[in-house]
Amino acid sequence: MKTLSEFLEVPEGVIFYFNVSDSKYKILDNKLLVNSVRNPNWSETSVFLDKLLEREIMIPKQFTEDEKVIARNLPEEYEWIVRNKNGDLNLFTTKPIKHEDRWDLSAYGGCVWFCLSGLFQSIQWTDTEPTLIADIYK
Q: Where is 104: in which H helix or E strand?
A: strand 103-104
Higher pLDDT, 70 or 52: 70
Mind listing the pLDDT tens digit for each residue in 82-103? 999 999 999 998 889 898 888 9
CA angle 125, 126, 130 (to 5 degrees): 70
CB 16 within 8 A of CB 26: yes
User: With 70 as the cut, is the pLDDT of residue 20 above it?
Assistant: no
Cα atoms in the Cβ-side hemisphere of radius 13 Å centred on 39 = 9
Its pTM surpasses 0.85? no
Pair 41, 56: CB distance under 8 Å: no
Each residue of 43-67: pLDDT tens digit? Answer: 888 766 666 667 777 777 889 999 9
Q: What is the pLDDT of residue 125?
A: 92
**Gap between the Cα atoms of 16 and 22, Å rounded:** 10
